[in-house]
Chains A and B, each alone.
Chain A
Amino acid sequence: MPTHTAPPPTLYSAREPVFPRRVKGNFRTLKWWIMAVTLGIYYLTPWLRWDRGESLPDQAVLIDLSGRRFFFFMIEIWPHEFYFVAGLLIMAGLGLFLFTSALGRVWCGYACPQTVWTDLFILVERWVEGDRNARVRLWHQGWNGHKLRLRLTKWLVWLLIAVATGGAWVFYFTDAPTLLRDLLGFTAQPVAYVTIALLTATTFVFGGFMREQICIYACPWPRIQAAMLDEDSLTVSYRPWRGEPRGKGRERTAETGVALGDCIDCNACVAVCPQGIDIRDGQQLACITCALCIDACNDVMDKVGKPRGLIGYMALTDEPLERSGAAAKSVWRHVFRPRTVLYTVLWAGVGIGLVVALFLRAPFGVSVAPVRNPSFVTLSDGSVRTAYDLRLRNQLGGEHAFRISIKSAVPLQVSVEGVDGLVVTVPTDETLLQRIYITAPAGSDAAQTRQTDVRLWVQDASGTDRVSVDTIFNGAGK
């Protein structure tokens, strides 16, 4: 409650800088591995090659915006198949729900790009300026040649990483070797330079200066955690029934009659936290469960000869069990429960659906639209002709010829505009818009009936694959 002597609260306050200390341990090693793999995938994937033949690009992963194609190794997605991307996004969402309900904020602590790049930038900072104590001294010290040199070096390395990050992004959208050559020769499209500049700026600012402010103020994910976590979700937690009352130094050796807990108040957990929080206050919005405090505390517990696990991964349901000394629930029992099983089933279901859809795709497709203005034309010999806009999608991976034919209950003739015969050629990876005509003889049933059913067949001229589409013949009847 506010008192009359307390100063009025300030409206705004500057960010208090955080200087995480170096830590060693299993979770730190896991984080380094995950960083290496994720950054490796991000930077190296655009350079992978995949041979698709002469007329198609040879980059393994390519988002061709102007050509409206997405290439992923042997898979090629056209715009009308965008549901694959939608399906992948649904799987990503379900995957996040699954991981979070089982293991807490593992996305935040291990895999999120903000965490990974901030971690990398802090590593660079430690290389250049030293570990925590040295960095704190440098912060408080005035500007001189030494500080300027260190800071400029650090910013330069950050800038190089940021440019590489922006560069890697644009390489996904066009052929990487070609674009790199153009960028270095200053002949690339302006949009490439602008995109790289933007991503360089955001990487530099977010990873170098914003850091935990993004997680606390800008990102929506921390704020949904209340809905994502439940009493069985594993999360980083301090064990106050083991650690309290905490005490250090002379308090521990003095005879006070009060048995102190395992926490020796060394503040190692606070010193290594990249978010700048104290996990002993409990799980909180700013804690990204990166588990560095677990590593730090375990290290100290080893040194003072106490058991590990004063800070560890546990679920809410573990607390009453541990407090009463009962056997703890196994990790497996925590993770494997109806909610997570449901998420897994849904996630797998969508995945299987996508794979099945992928295999059921026809190598070419056709759609036909009867011309509506006019719906038919009477020719000089009295016969009636309907025109159609035929769209032939060639997804076979090379130029192919296709034969057109029709099947109907009444005699009808098909012809192709501008082509002698009924074979059309579609270039590689393209959709051909072709006008075709179906004609009914003068005075025939079809010529005098308003609509007659017709089935159109398109067959690969060099193979046996064929597709059909049903349409109507428009005649002169009422």
Chain B
Amino acid sequence: MSAEPTKGATPDPETTGHNWDGIEELNNPLPRWWLWTFYATIVWGLAYSVAYPAWPLLTGATPGLLGFSTRAELAADLAAADAANAGMSAKLTAADLTTVAADPELSGYATSAGAAVFRTHCSQCHGAGAAGVQDKGYPNLLDDDWLWGGDVAAIHATVVHGIRSADPDTRFSEMPVFAEILEPAQIEQVVNHVLAIAGQPNDAGLAAAGATVFAENCAACHGDAGKGNHELGSPNLTDAIWLYGGTPERITETVTKARRGVMPNWNARLSDDDIRAVALYVHQLGGGE
């Protein structure tokens, strides 16, 4: 060390005066470059606080001469992301929905974008995992049972126009309130018939009588065999999936009071490519046709 003395060459430097069992503490000077580096950091700190947002005021803070703001940075990042996606979005808007699955890059983009749209706009009713809410009328989008059709075009149309929504082209079905049309005894008979065609336990006698009630009142929409109709949005009554519950009590309630679920029309709220993306996303969740 240049500051360390050689024996006899220069006088002993100052010690601090402390002495622990003969061990003394030297009092060597700090290097001057250390001091100037310290001053430089102070200058840097002051300059930084003038250039960037720093000093709290009564409301808000000093904005800084450079006009930096994290909100502006976020807006710029979002704009950059949109710009980066612009090409793929345009491609998606122009593409024929049925051919997208064959293009790995476009379908990958659509799935990721659709997942984001779903999380933001659809999960509130259909659930984060798209499984809906059991027996409460929020459809499960993962299974292969569809009211209005499960091919991509049908899903797309449902998202665009909604169900019983404000859109003039909305999907619309109206199940009559059979409490006003049928006697309670007839309702009990037709419920048993529905249980029979669904393969559930039922009263055979009531079911036989219910077949006639079904043919006169229900077959027009649900079909003679109860298989449902995608054009009319009438459910398939013979499968294992029930939107409002498949117990005799719930089916009775459905027939008695009818069900009128609503889905918004997304053409008012989402862009074309977002709707296409979410339609493609839903289609590849496991139940698409």
The interface of chain A, by Cβ under 8 A from chain B, is 1-2, 6, 9-16, 18, 210, 213, 216-217, 275-278, 280-281, 284-286, 371-374, 377-382, 385, 387, 417-418, 435, 437, 442
User: Taking CB as reference atom, which chain A residue is nearest B7?
Assistant: A281
Of B72-80, B156-164, B236-244, B255-263, which stretch is located at the interface?
B236-244
- Report if A378-B241 is in contact (Cβ < 8 Å); known contacts: A6-B11, A9-B29, A13-B29: yes
CA distance A435 to B111 in the complex (A): 12
User: Taking CB as reference atom, which chain B residue is nearest A427?
Assistant: B104
Residues in B neighbouring A11, C-beta threshold 8 A: 29-30
Q: Indicate if the CB atoms of B1 and A417 lie closer than 8 Å.
A: no
Q: Indicate if the CB atoms of B1 and A277 lie closer than 8 Å.
A: yes
- One of B107, B240, B284 near A382 (C-beta < 8 A): B240
Residues in B neighbouring A216, C-beta threshold 8 A: 1
CA distance A15 to B128 in the complex (A): 66
User: Taking CB as reference atom, which chain A residue is nearest B12?
Assistant: A1
Q: Indicate if the CB atoms of B31 and A286 lie closer than 8 Å.
A: no
Please report which residues of chain B, range 1-25, place their CB below 8 angstroms from some CB of chain A when the two chains form the complex: 1-4, 6-7, 11, 13-15, 17
Q: Residue B105 at the A interface, CB < 8 A?
A: no
Would you mind naming 23 contact pairs between A and B with Cβ atoms under 8 Å apart?
Answer: A2-B14, A6-B14, A9-B13, A9-B27, A9-B29, A10-B29, A11-B29, A12-B32, A12-B34, A13-B3, A13-B30, A16-B2, A16-B3, A210-B33, A275-B1, A276-B1, A276-B2, A286-B4, A373-B129, A377-B143, A379-B144, A381-B239, A387-B142
Residues in A neighbouring B143, C-beta threshold 8 A: 377-380
Q: Residue B45 at the A interface, CB < 8 A?
A: no
A12-B31, A285-B1, A374-B142 are known; give 12 further A-B pairs, CB within 8 A: A1-B17, A9-B14, A13-B3, A14-B31, A16-B3, A276-B2, A284-B1, A286-B1, A286-B4, A374-B127, A378-B241, A379-B145
Residues in B neighbouring A381, C-beta threshold 8 A: 239-240
Residues in A neighbouring B27, C-beta threshold 8 A: 9
Q: Indicate if the CB atoms of A217 and B31 lie closer than 8 Å.
A: yes
User: Taking CB as reference atom, which chain B residue is nearest A387?
Assistant: B286
- Report if A418-B101 is in contact (Cβ < 8 Å); known contacts: A278-B6, A374-B131: yes
Q: Indicate if the CB atoms of B284 and A373 lie closer than 8 Å.
A: no
Q: Indicate if the CB atoms of B284 and A418 lie closer than 8 Å.
A: yes
Q: Indicate if the CB atoms of A417 and B32 lie closer than 8 Å.
A: no
Residues in B neighbouring A16, C-beta threshold 8 A: 2-3
Q: Indicate if the CB atoms of A417 and B17 lie closer than 8 Å.
A: no
Q: Residue B268 at the A interface, CB < 8 A?
A: no
CA distance A276 to B5 in the complex (A): 11
CA distance A382 to B198 in the complex (A): 11
User: Taking CB as reference atom, which chain A residue is nearest B27?
Assistant: A9
Give the distance to chain A from B24, nearest Cβ to Cβ, in Å: 9
Q: Residue B57 at the A interface, CB < 8 A?
A: no
- Report if A13-B239 is in contact (Cβ < 8 Å); known contacts: A373-B128, A378-B143: no
Residues in A neighbouring B14, C-beta threshold 8 A: 2, 6, 9
Q: Indicate if the CB atoms of B15 and A12 lie closer than 8 Å.
A: no
Q: Indicate if the CB atoms of A380 and B144 lie closer than 8 Å.
A: yes
Q: Residue B140 at the A interface, CB < 8 A?
A: yes
Q: Indicate if the CB atoms of B286 and A377 lie closer than 8 Å.
A: yes
Residues in B neighbouring A380, C-beta threshold 8 A: 143-145, 236, 239-241
User: Taking CB as reference atom, which chain B residue is nearest A209?
Assistant: B33
Q: Indicate if the CB atoms of A12 and B30 lie closer than 8 Å.
A: yes
Q: Residue B81 at the A interface, CB < 8 A?
A: no
Give the distance to chain B from A21, nearest Cβ to Cβ, in Å: 16
Q: Residue B61 at the A interface, CB < 8 A?
A: no
Residues in A neighbouring B284, C-beta threshold 8 A: 417-418
Residues in A neighbouring B84, C-beta threshold 8 A: none
Residues in B neighbouring A217, C-beta threshold 8 A: 31, 34
Residues in B neighbouring A286, C-beta threshold 8 A: 1, 4
CA distance A417 to B127 in the complex (A): 21
Give the distance to chain B from A260, nearest Cβ to Cβ, in Å: 16
Give the distance to chain B from A300, nearest Cβ to Cβ, in Å: 18
Q: Residue B35 at the A interface, CB < 8 A?
A: yes
Residues in B neighbouring A281, C-beta threshold 8 A: 4, 6-7
Task: Kindly name the residue among A284, A377, A385 whose own CB sees the greatest number of chain B CB atoms within 10 A.
Answer: A377
User: Taking CB as reference atom, which chain A residue is nearest B198?
Assistant: A382
Please report which residues of chain B, range 192-246, place their CB below 8 angstroms from some CB of chain A when the two chains form the complex: 236, 239-241
Residues in A neighbouring B129, C-beta threshold 8 A: 371-374
CA distance A277 to B31 in the complex (A): 16
Give the distance to chain B from A103, nearest Cβ to Cβ, in Å: 23
